[in-house]
């Protein structure tokens, strides 16, 4: 097949490489000329994605993959077009902003050939595939969906750093607007993906047709919103436990020893491209989902809540030097999308502290570009807030933070014995 992938970001490029590795001719289109040039030159643009460099080199050497900035080069005569353009959420209104996706859809529609399958993998609010993309493509292309071309929704379900493994591990969900479209989508994904055996699943691992685009859209939102609500519940338990002399981590371990309990872990922040965003996409079409809204609000409040607890223990932060340990939104990943580092820094600065940030994955200049003052382990500090559960921080000792008067462990990963004699505030543990 000839396959076009629209947007060659951290999901799109691995997908393009996966499709090429399955024996198909792939052309990726992206508006960033520097990214396109790097890909065509075989330079891995996203370090840290397992096997991407090797697979990219192999696809290029086989002549199965190339990149372009020109939709007119990528879209015509494609058997399938896979769209993974980012969708953003307005921070003030919490409403989805479709600007980039609209432009990409208009551009592909201008060059669409009859017989093409168009699959959207970007997470969407329920109803957008049918209500927004179908009429937009029809109007611009002059083609009729369900007859001349097919539009489906098939959400990406992968985790940064292990995308190729996840493509094999999890069923590929598809939802179409017609029976013919569903058949085309199933055949397409069965030809570009390979799946691990999963005896734990209720049906064989592979491509699962959910019956409609709306069902597939909801499935992606539901599985991610579940995690946010679960973390919100864990954080609620942690706040209560900490205020009442209870170690919530022992409580959670005890609860999860029973098969029906799957409580997640509390923490100072929920970051990344998915969990902080997708509940808001769900709320955009289900405003009565009060449980979802409450969990999101609680999770967003955690940096302020922990810093307020720290202030109550230590007193005024005015003039003190505070360091936030970790800029990344999660351990081992060099990414700050919706990272809790920013509200944590803001909460400390609002109380008069001078704040700097340390992260083993970022150099000083990279931190400065993020608007963060860099910190070097070994420099004097008054208070440290562990934000990211990088493996290196599990071995941290007070000697690396000379002068420290309080450690706020927002991930409950530091060793109590190593910190004996230094005041610690651990999320979910008694103060």
pLDDT digits (tens, 9 = 90+) for 263-277: 999 999 999 889 999
> How far apart are the C-alpha atoms of 385 and 411, rounded to whole Å?
10
Question: Is the pLDDT score of 430 beyond 80?
Answer: no
Share of the chain above pLDDT 70, in %: 100
* Angle, in degrees to the nearest 10, between helices 134-141 and 99-110: 40
pTM value? Answer: 0.92
Architecture of the domain delimited by 2-211: 3-Layer(aba) Sandwich (3.40)
Which three-class secondary structure state does DSSP give residue 260? coil
Computed over every residue of the chain, the mean pLDDT equals 96
| Active-site annotation holds for 255 | no
Can you point out the beta strands (E) in 194-265? 207-209
* Angle, in degrees to the nearest 10, between helices 341-350 and 290-314: 50
Read off the pLDDT band of 431 (50, 70, 90). low
| pLDDT for position 125 | 97
Which value, in Å, is the radius of gyration of the alpha carbons in the chain? 24
Tokens of residue 266, six digits: 């509390």
Q: Residues 298-343: pLDDT tens digits?
A: 999 999 999 999 999 998 999 999 999 999 999 998 999 999 999 9
> How far apart are the C-alpha atoms of 193 and 113, rounded to whole Å?
24
| pLDDT for position 88 | 87
Q: Residues 157-208: pLDDT tens digits?
A: 998 889 999 999 999 999 999 999 999 999 999 999 999 999 999 999 999 9
Per annotation, catalytic residue among 134, 172, 220, 280:
220
Question: Is the pLDDT score of 92 beyond 90?
Answer: no
Per annotation, catalytic residue among 172, 184, 274, 280:
274
Closest CA to 234 of 195, 191, 193, 267: 267
Share of the chain above pLDDT 90, in %: 94
Alpha helices for 41-162 (secondary structure H) = 52-61, 71-74, 99-110, 128, 134-141
Give the sign of the dihedral formed by CA 112, CA 113, CA 119, CA 125: positive
> How far apart are the C-alpha atoms of 342 and 347, rounded to whole Å?
9
What does residue 363 show for φ and ψ, rounded to 5 degrees?
-85, 175
| Active-site annotation holds for 220 | yes
**Domains of the chain, residue spans:** 2-211, 213-431
Architecture of the domain delimited by 213-431: 3-Layer(aba) Sandwich (3.40)
At 185, which helix (H) or strand (E)? Answer: helix 179-192
| pLDDT for position 273 | 86
């Amino acid at each position: 097949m000839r396959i076009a992938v629209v947007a060659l970001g951290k999901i799109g490029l691995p997908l393009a490489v996966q499709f090429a590795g399955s024996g198909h001719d792939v052309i990726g289109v992206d508006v960033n000329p520097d990214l396109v040039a790097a890909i065509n030159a075989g330079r891995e643009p996203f370090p840290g994605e397992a096997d991407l460099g090797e697979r990219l080199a192999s696809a290029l050497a086989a002549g199965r993959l190339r990149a372009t900035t020109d939709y007119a080069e990528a879209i015509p005569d494609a058997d399938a077009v896979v769209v993974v353009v980012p969708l953003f959420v307005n921070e003030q209104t919490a409403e989805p902003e479709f600007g980039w996706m609209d432009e990409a859809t208009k551009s592909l529609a201008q060059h669409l050939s009859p017989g093409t399958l168009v699959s959207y993998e970007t997470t969407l609010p329920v109803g957008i595939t049918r209500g927004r993309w179908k009429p937009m493509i029809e109007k611009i292309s002059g083609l009729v969906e369900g007859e001349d071309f097919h539009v489906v929704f098939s959400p990406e379900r992968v985790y940064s750093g292990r995308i190729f493994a996840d493509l094999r591990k999890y069923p590929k969900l598809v939802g179409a607007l017609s029976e013919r479209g569903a058949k085309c989508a199933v055949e397409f994904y069965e030809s570009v993906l390979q799946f691990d055996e999963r005896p734990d699943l209720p049906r064989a691992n592979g491509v699962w047709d959910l019956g409609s685009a709306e069902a597939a859209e909801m499935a992606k939102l539901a599985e991610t919103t579940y995690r946010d609500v679960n973390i919100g519940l864990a954080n609620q338990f942690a706040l209560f436990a900490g205020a009442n002399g209870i170690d919530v981590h022992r409580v959670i371990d005890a609860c999860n020893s029973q098969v029906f309990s799957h409580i997640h872990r509390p923490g100072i922040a929920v970051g990344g491209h998915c969990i902080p965003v997708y509940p808001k996409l769900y709320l955009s079409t289900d405003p009565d989902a009060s449980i979802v809204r409450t969990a999101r609000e609680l999770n967003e409040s955690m940096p302020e809540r922990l810093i307020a607890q720290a202030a109550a223990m230590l007193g005024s932060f005015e003039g003190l030097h505070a360091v936030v340990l970790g800029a990344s939104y999660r351990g081992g990943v060099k990414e700050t999308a919706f990272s809790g580092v920013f509200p944590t820094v803001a909460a400390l600065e609002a109380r008069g502290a001078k704040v700097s940030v340390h992260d083993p994955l970022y150099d000083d200049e990279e931190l400065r570009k993020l608007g963060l003052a860099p910190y070097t382990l070994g420099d004097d500090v008054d208070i440290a807030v562990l934000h990211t559960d990088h493996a290196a921080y599990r071995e941290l000792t007070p000697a690396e933070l000379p002068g420290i008067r309080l450690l706020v462990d927002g991930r409950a990963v530091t060793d109590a014995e190593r910190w004996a004699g230094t005041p610690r505030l651990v999320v979910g543990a008694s103060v």
